[in-house]
Amino acid sequence: MRRIDARPIPDRPGEIRGVLVVRNEALRLESTLRHHRDLGVDRFFILDNGSDDGTIELLETQPDVHLLSTTDKFSDSWGGALWKNALLDAYATGHWALTLDADELFVFPRYEAIGLRNFCAFLDGTGARGVFCLMLDMYSDRPLSETRHAPGASLIETCPFFDRRTYQLLRAEGLFPPMQIYGGVRERLFRRHLGDRYRAPMIAKAPLVKWAAGDRYTAATHHMTPVPLADVTGVLLHFKFLSDFASRAAIETARGEHYQESVEYRAYLELVRDHGLTDLMADVSVRYEDSAQLVRMNMMQTTAALEAFAPAPPPA
C-alpha cells in the first residue's frame, strides 16, 4: 500500500473512522461519504485499487479522507479482507470503525435521532464490540438503464425500494458471526431466471467494530474473529442496481478478480444478456421509510435499553 495524501492524522481518542476499499466508484462514492459523514464518521481511510474513472481525483478533494493506493490483485486479498485488516490495524485500533463498500449505507434503530457517536457510546456501555447487519438490496421502480444517479445525491431517493420477503436466517457453525442470511431481490432473480446453477450471495455482514489488536476479517466483512456482538442489529442498505449494473457485470466478469473467478458477476451478466433483465419491481416490493419501518419488519432489532437511551420520537 502507498499513501497518496499527506494530511496529518490527529491522535484523537474517540474518533469514529470509516474504512473502504474502492475501484471505479465515482458514481456512488460522494453520496456514500456524505451519508456516513452526516451519521457521525469523523474521517475515512480509503484504499484505491486501480481506479481510472475519477475516483482518485474525487477523493483527493475530500478534507476528511486519507487516501492510499495498491496495484496488487483483488483476488489475492481474500475479498479485500487482507487490505481492510491492514488499514484497520494501522488507523483504527482502539476506535469504533465502520468498514464499508462504496455501495453501502449503514443504518441502525433510531439512527435519525441518535447519530453514530451516541450509538457507539451506548454500545460501549453494554460491553459490545460489534454490530451484525442484514445487507438489504435497494432498487428503483424504473428500468435499470434509466436508474440514473447524480453523484452526491441521495442513494435512497434514487433506489427507494426493497423486497419485504423472503429472507432466511441460517446458523453457520464454525463461523463468526454464527449467522448467515439469504434472500431479497437477488435471491428472487436468481431463482426465477438461473435456477440452481448459481447461488445468490449471502447478505449479512459485521461492518461496525471497535477494532482491537488481533481482530481480523476473514471474508470481506461477512466473517471475522469473534467479538462481543450487540443485541441491537443494523442494516446495510445496498445500492448495486444503478444504470451501470450491466457494464459493471461485464467488466468484473472479464477481470475475474472476485470470489470464484467472479461467479456472482457472471450470474449478473447472464441475467442481463440472456434473460433481458430490466425491471426489478414485484409484488414483494416496498418503499423504504425509516429505521422504525425496518424494526417493524424484523429486518433489524432494537432493545428496550436502546429505546430508553434514545430521545422520544416526535408526535405523529
User: For residue 164, what pLDDT is reported?
Assistant: 97
pLDDT at 314: 66
Q: Distance between CA 94 and CA 206 in Å, rounded?
A: 17
| Host domain of residue 89 | 9-302
Does 308 map to a domain?
no
Q: Give the CATH number, domain containing residue 293.
A: 3.90.550
Residues 47, 66: Cα–Cα separation, whole Å: 9
Is 47 part of any domain? yes
The number of C-alpha atoms within 13 Å of 243 and in the hemisphere containing its C-beta is 10
Q: Go through the chain and tell me how many residues it has.
A: 316
How many domains are there within the chain? Answer: 1
Average pLDDT for consecutive 10-residue bins of the chain (316 residues)?
Answer: 92 95 96 98 96 95 96 79 95 98 97 97 98 98 96 98 95 93 94 83 96 94 96 98 89 70 80 86 98 98 96 72
For position 259, what pLDDT does the model report?
60
CB contact at 8 A, 303 and 236: no
Burial class (CB in 10 A: 0-12, 13-18, 19+), 297: middle
pLDDT digits (tens, 9 = 90+) for 213-259: 999 999 889 999 999 999 999 999 999 999 999 888 888 787 766 66
Contact present, 97 and 19 (Cβ < 8 Å): yes
pLDDT at 262: 67
Which pLDDT belongs to residue 311? 87
pTM, entire model: 0.95
- State the alpha helices, DSSP H only, in 2-160: 26-39, 55-60, 81-91, 111-126, 155-158
Query: pLDDT value at position 47?
Result: 97
- As given in the structure block, the three cell numbers for residue 8 are 496529518
Question: What is the number of other CB atoms lying within 10 angstroms of the CB of residue 247?
Answer: 10
Is residue 111 one of the residues assigned to a domain? yes
134 with 233: CB under 8 angstroms? yes
Decide if 97 is inside a domain. yes
**Using only C-alpha atoms, what is the Rg of the chain?**
19
| Residue 180 placed within a domain | yes
pLDDT in tens, 148-170: 999 999 999 999 999 999 899 99
Does residue 232 belong to any structural domain of this protein? Answer: yes
Pairing status of strand 17-22 against strand 43-48: parallel
Q: Is residue 2 part of a domain?
A: no
Task: Give 82-102 as a DSSP string.
Answer: HHHHHHHHHHTTTSEEEEE-T
Rounded Cα gap, residues 18 and 171, in angstroms = 29
310 found inside a domain: no
